[in-house]
């Protein structure tokens, strides 16, 4: 039973070691990269605003089309009389 415990402990430590060392060697992004990321965020925000405007235009056009379409009465259903 001790062998199983030692093996599981060794596996946990082996898996944790690369994760710890990877966080130590990370470099901070430079100023130009941060500016580019900010620009991309702004562009994405602008796209979302444009999409919302288009959505409102389409909804308004759909409402106008419904109001302009003539209302046709539903066809009457004839009941068959038993012979």
* pLDDT for the residue numbered 64: 79
Backbone angles phi, psi at 56, to 5 degrees: -65, -40
DSSP state of 83: -
Average pLDDT over the chain, rounded to whole?
75
Three-class secondary structure of residue 40 per DSSP: helix
Q: What length does the chain have?
A: 83
Residues 6+ apart with CB under 8 A from 37: 29
Question: What is the tens place of the pLDDT at every residue in 5-34?
Answer: 776 767 776 776 665 555 555 677 788 988
Residues 6+ apart with CB under 8 A from 29: 37
């Amino acid at each position: 039973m001790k062998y199983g415990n030692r093996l599981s402990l060794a596996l946990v430590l082996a898996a944790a070691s690369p994760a710890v060392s990877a966080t130590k060697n990370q470099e901070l992004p430079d100023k130009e990269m941060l500016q580019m990321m900010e620009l991309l965020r702004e562009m994405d925000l602008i796209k979302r605003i444009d999409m919302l405007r288009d959505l409102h235009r389409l909804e308004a056009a759909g409402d106008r089309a419904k109001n302009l379409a003539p209302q046709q009465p539903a066809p009457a259903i004839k009941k068959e009389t038993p012979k």
